[in-house]
Amino acid sequence: MSEDRTFLILFILLYAVFALIRVYYRTRPTVRERLKQEQPEEEEKVGGVALVALKVSILGYFASIALYIISPSWMRWSELALPAWVRWAGVLVGIVCFPFLIWINRTMGRFYLDRLELKDDHELITSGPFSRIRNPMYLVFCVFTFSMGLVTSYALSLLFSIAIMASLNWVVDHEEEMMFERFGNEYRAYMERTGRFLPHRRRSTG
């Protein structure tokens, strides 16, 4: 089996596992019932140009990986010819994302939503991975998409993964404004002790 074929199979397997984890938590009874709730007067949603940019970036990314899966030859023009060890590093990082994805979903519990909105009964989650990072789900998503871009070794996939990161940062600007409006000083204090995507360095007390 050729090296490219090996990475293609690993790419498909990794994305299949990632998707299965997402679907499992998305379809749990408590989450499914919550997603069915209609609260048009109480929902707060993030939208506008930021969300459009994110959707376009995601669409472009998945279009590029669809081409990679269906016919890698169509993507040869953007091939970077990365060293094998870099592609294997992408595989390893992708695998490492799985336990973190499970941890994040378990911590979110019934408050998991696949839409950028707040329900009337929404609570501020500050435990588990959220105790150090305000957006661990976005972090895992960005790391996974970039690592899979490395596995493909195609510039187009990597460029769209970077576009997703930039768009998410823009979306989070709006999302955090929404959270501050809902939770006020509680969210301000939470922002002071956590990082947006990476943990704050602990201050020395010595």
Q: Which fold has domain 3-33+45-193?
A: Four Helix Bundle (Hemerythrin (Met), subunit A) (1.20.120)
Please report, as a single letter, which amino acid is at residue 29. P
pLDDT digits (tens, 9 = 90+) for 51-82: 788 889 999 999 999 999 998 888 888 999 89
Q: Which residues contact 174 (CB under 8 A, 6 or more apart)?
A: 46, 48, 50, 51
Q: Sketch the domain layout of the chain as residue ranges.
A: 3-33+45-193
More confident of the two residues 198 and 34: 198
> What pLDDT is recorded for position 40?
43
More confident of the two residues 202 and 95: 95
How many whole angstroms separate alpha carbon 203 and alpha carbon 206?
9
For residues 139-167, give the mean pLDDT: 94
Burial class (CB in 10 A: 0-12, 13-18, 19+), 201: exposed
> What pLDDT is recorded for position 117?
60
Residue 49 belongs to what H/E stretch? helix 48-70
Tokens of 184: 């006020």
For residues 106-110, give the mean pLDDT: 81
Alpha helices in 83-184 (DSSP H): 84-108, 136-152, 155-183
